[in-house]
Amino acid sequence: MGNTIKTTLLLGLLSGVLMVIGQSLGGSNGLVIAFGVAVIMNFGSYWFSDKIVLRMYKAQPVGPEHRLYQAVARLSQRANLPMPKVYVIPDPSPNAFATGRDPSHAAVAATEGILRILDDRELEGVIGHELAHVKNRDILISSIAATLAAAIMMIANMARWAAFLGGGRSGDREGSNPIALLATIILATVAAILIQSAISRSREYGADAGGAAIAGSPYGLVDALKKLEVASKRIPLDANAATAHMFIIKPFAVSGMMFLFSTHPPTESRIRALLGQA
């Protein structure tokens, strides 16, 4: 029930941001159009968000002969979860995520880069983390946030161009106000990112703890996080910012005030929490 309420609130908040942009761009007509878009996006996000995200990263399905599949099968059985679909992302940057609307419709994806640098124990730590997200039913919220945030950012980008070109409310007697429109678009985009970040950070600690329990020890995940923190900075993932919260480690570096927008807690804090659990 908790995650159902959180999913509903998330859909409402991100839909509201979408409608703010619509109203700023087209007045009452823009609000009506944005409401229609939000309804369609909510429906599509629930049923198809996992497929959208997997396609975004050109993820390829793998079968029982693959090392990743074998690790997922082993740990899924240990966690008493249905076997997820397993995908490999053709990218040298080391990372992984889980997606889907529930444990019976879940998928686990990992990059070629993470498979290259982690040994079996470390890989099991990462897979345990992702399966903990599945078990905690974080994956629906995460996938919906990615889809709606991507839509908001795309519409905000289009609206920015409209503001620069002098667009805006055509039906209002006062005419358009490009500066106000631009400010609304920026604030709406920031709000979408903050909502996305807030739902993600707290979940990472829970998935770390749950993943360590599934793997049988926190040390594989601890060593994996240490490697991933270094390697992901050396080879950053060309990730869509709207999906950054889905990955086990932030795909690009953030510093200074930008940490407010970080989708992940500091890796050092996650490692300390895991070692405290040990």
Q: Are strands 85-89 and 60-61 parallel, antiparallel or unpaired?
A: antiparallel
268 given a catalytic annotation: no
Which residue is catalytic, options 122, 124, 130, 229? Answer: 130
- Report, as residue numbers or ranges, the catalytic residues: 130
